[in-house]
Structure 1
Amino acid sequence: MNGNVPAAGSEAVPEASPGQSHRDTVEYIGFRVDGQAVVLNLSEHRRLSLERSLDLVNHSPSGFEWGYSGSGPAQLACALLLDYYDDEQFAREHYITFRNQVVSQLECDGAAACWHLPGEEINAAMATLADDVVALADGGRPSPTLPENWRAVSRQDRRVFQRADRDHYIVLGDGTDELVVVLCSQGDRAYPAPLAHRTVAEEADVEQVIQELAEESNDLIEPLEGEH
């Protein structure tokens, strides 16, 4: 892999199985053809499936990317974990962290102008990565006041809600004598960009404000055909 793997925190990875030794031999390679990003499972001589990852999370229907933190790298991170571990829940819970710490560091350099990511390095990375601030460390949990495609994310320092099918977040922050509730999207940006916000008094119905912003997000991007 081109890039350093951090050695901080810990992550639970799927337990070793009879197929683990096979997975360790898997190697992924990324390069560009006429400017288009191409990722292969080199060991199995096949192209990494964009469609399979889109069934799980939909950040970048136009394809994969790498080398920064954005929607294309998020889609690639999900696809890599899904392909390597064949575990949808694990991929959904950890792809944002994997994107920020690993996929964002991949670079096409050297004479071959490509990057390589062996399976053993994926295992090593997932054993050492710390949770990212927007990662679904516990998979999130549904709320009776939120649309079904939203989840409440466990955070000790603030309340965060994440849309499961798009790169949208709702974050509560403290104002002077008020609460600031922000709907934001990371997209292809290095940092989240606000889409809408509400400033409410602490005694106001904050849950109603959160629900309104979640519905506003859903109205901004209509679900794809077949999504509910």
Structure 2
Amino acid sequence: MGRVRSRAGRTGAIQMTTAYIGRRRQGELVVTRRPEDTELTPDRSFELVNHSPSGFEVGYRGSGPAQLACALLLDYYDDEQFAREHYIAFRNQVVSQLECDSAAVCWHLPGEEIDAAMAALTDDVVALADGGRPSPTLPENWRTVSRPDRRVFQRADRDHYIVLGDGTDEWLVVLRSQGDRAYPAPLAHRTVAEDADVEQVIQELAEESNDLIEPPEGEH
């Protein structure tokens, strides 16, 4: 895997003038694309991932910021595969750092800053479960992610992860949900003897995640 390259986007000269601004409207985060002054909605990004039916957010690593990150990359680069592969890393590095607490313009994100951020990110996942590749043994909405210390599997359409930890005499396999939490919350786990079929356990947890019916945001 190589370094993410700065992408040409729709048209070079026009794209360089593009910027996104955020403000609050009755408590809701509203994002506007300049110079067109058109409102960016999550509708198109819902076709790729559905992290936050209630809309966009910023300032932390959660569902609302993940939806915004996907929408920004999709709108700016007009490339579904690129947005799908890199929105989590973009959320973690950029969207989680934005702040918005008032009706005035809270943040301003020029296109060149998006390009600079993406050029600085790599496809190699070393700290977080970002991106990854499809696995022949997992459902199609799951990806295998490489980390130096453990194996991680990421669900493409939800903030769900499966983490395989190497214990002394057994494997600990944990299904987690990032959600709106700073630290992923466990949904389910299995302990498996080292000589057991751990791949089968991973598949079972992936299916369990797919079968989960998550409550609407706010109903916890």
TM beyond 0.5: yes
Instruction: Compute the displacement of 1:12 (Å).
Output: 1.2
Residues in 2 aligned to 1:59 and 1:109: alpha-carbon distance in whole angstroms:
22
Give the 3 Å change call, closer, same or farther, for CA 18–81 of structure 1 in structure 2. closer
Give the 3 Å change call, closer, same or farther, for CA 75–110 of structure 1 in structure 2. closer
Query: Does the CA contact (< 8 Å) of 2:24 and 2:102 recur in 1?
Result: no
Residues in 1 aligned to 2:63 and 2:162: alpha-carbon distance in whole angstroms:
17
Which of 23, 28, 40 aligns to 1:31? It is 23
Once structures 1 and 2 are overlaid, which stretch shifts more, 148-157 or 29-38? 148-157
Offset from partner CA, 1:2-34 (integer Å, 9 cap, x none): xxxxxxxx8413543671221111010111111
Residues in 1 aligned to 2:103 and 2:193: alpha-carbon distance in whole angstroms:
59
Residues in 2 aligned to 1:46 and 1:91: alpha-carbon distance in whole angstroms:
20
Residues in 1 aligned to 2:105 and 2:30: alpha-carbon distance in whole angstroms:
12
Letter in 2 for 1:135: D
Which of 196, 199, 204 aligns to 1:212? It is 204
Which residue number in structure 2 is paired with residue 141 of structure 1?
Answer: 134
Which of 34, 40, 49 aligns to 2:41? It is 49
Which of 83, 86, 89 aligns to 2:78? It is 86
Query: Does the CA contact (< 8 Å) of 1:151 and 1:164 recur in 2?
Result: yes
Query: Does the CA contact (< 8 Å) of 2:6 and 2:118 recur in 1?
Result: no
Letter in 1 for 2:133: G
Query: Does the CA contact (< 8 Å) of 2:7 and 2:115 recur in 1?
Result: no
Query: Unpaired runs of 5+ in structure 2?
Result: 215-220
SS in 2 for 1:80: helix
Once the two structures are superposed, the pairs formed by residues 4-153 of structure 1 within 5 Å of their partners are: 11-16=3-8, 19-108=11-100, 112-130=104-122, 131=125, 133-136=128-131, 139-143=132-136, 145-153=137-145
Which residue number in structure 2 is paired with residue 193 of structure 1?
Answer: 185
Instruction: Compute the displacement of 1:109 (Å).
Output: 6.5
Give the 3 Å change call, closer, same or farther, for CA 116–161 of structure 1 in structure 2. same
Which residue number in structure 1 is paired with residue 176 of structure 2?
Answer: 184
Residues in 1 aligned to 2:152 and 2:180: alpha-carbon distance in whole angstroms:
20
How many residues of Structure 1 are paired with residues of Structure 2 in the alignment?
210
Residues in 2 aligned to 1:17 and 1:56: alpha-carbon distance in whole angstroms:
18
Which residue number in structure 1 is paired with residue 217 of structure 2?
Answer: none
Once structures 1 and 2 are overlaid, which stretch shifts more, 153-162 or 57-66? 153-162
Identity of counterpart residues, as a percentage?
73
SS in 2 for 1:127: helix
Residues in 1 aligned to 2:93 and 2:35: alpha-carbon distance in whole angstroms:
24
Query: Does the CA contact (< 8 Å) of 2:10 and 2:77 recur in 1?
Result: no
Residues in 2 aligned to 1:55 and 1:206: alpha-carbon distance in whole angstroms:
33
Query: Does the CA contact (< 8 Å) of 2:69 and 2:90 recur in 1?
Result: yes
What is the TM-score normalised by the length of structure 1?
A: 0.86
Query: Unpaired runs of 5+ in structure 1?
Result: 1-9, 223-228
